[in-house]
Structure 1
Amino acid sequence: MIFNDTSIQGVYVIDLEQLQDDRGFFARTFCKQEFEERGLQPVVAQCSLSFNYKKGTLRGIHFQIPPVTEAKLVRCTQGAIYDVIVDLRAGSPTYLSYLATELTAENRKLLYVPEMFAHGFQTLTDNTEVAYQITEFYTPGYARGLRYNDPKLAIDWPLPVTTISNKDTNWPLLSDQPVSLGTSL
């Protein structure tokens, strides 16, 4: 695995180190030891799969608050996504900054999303599938979200939104949040 630093500390775009021969290739998509060496959360509590019918579908931007914050390892296994994360770490120099990267079945990149980052994506093709490894169990009472079109975030989504859940369109704007997201809501 090749861990590429990003503009936000603790966030990595990971390339697969492919061992190729006449059959094709073999590559690791997770290694507990390599994660621990970088101080990353190596525990996997659950794995999830998202399948999306239409290009332009938007999912997110989701996170969980303490005591059940979660780190994620995200990979697009079919199609392509514009993957976005938002830094919610109180005191971080990049607080409320976002990082976007394209994950595709062809580039096979993974995105490591640390705890206290909100995560969402938009599909760039029809019939897109996304796989997640998550360090904490989904806990509905601690689940929160950010509005995908919040003017304070000013995320530049590549396509018009074709499909989005009611829940994701109705998250409160950051200007309406009662306290810092980096603490607890």
Structure 2
Amino acid sequence: MKNFLKSTVLSLAVLCLCACDDDKSYEDPGLEVTPHNIAGTWQLAEWNGAPLAEGSFVYIEFTRKDKLFTMYQNLDSFGTRKLTGRYDITTDVELGAIIMGQYDYGTGDWEHRYIVSDLDADTMTWTAQDDPSDISIYERCASIPDEITGATGEEPDTEPDGE
């Protein structure tokens, strides 16, 4: 009987040790790519494996409710260029989330449709669907700087003159 009890206790101990498997690595799947999760302001931090040249910038602000975007960039002009429009997110079974956009004023669609990956609270990666070497990494930021948007940051004068 003692041998039976020892064998049972030993079997239970081995079973418990085998059940604890900490060797598995769990990948964080990140956030689902939805208008809610990408809403806010993002700055292009890296393009095709390199940071942007000094003085160059791309800021894009996504509005969740109406799926609108506002972009400020100077990559293809001497000054700041403001572009607005609508965006949409679709899901491809093989590729995952794809973001595409259309500029306002009949100026057309974005040059590429982008596969969005590695979305978390602070970063996301876009890969052009038709050009896998075109990779953009965006970082979330608080807002677009006033010197870029042209805002003065001053409160309007609401006091009547002379008082």
Q: Same fold (TM over 0.5)?
A: no
Considering Cα pairs closer than 8 Å and 6+ residues apart, tell me whether 1 or 2 has the greater RCO: 1
Greater helix proportion: 2
TM-score of the pair, normalised by structure 2:
0.25
TM-score of the pair, normalised by structure 1:
0.23
Q: Which has the larger radius of gyration?
A: 2
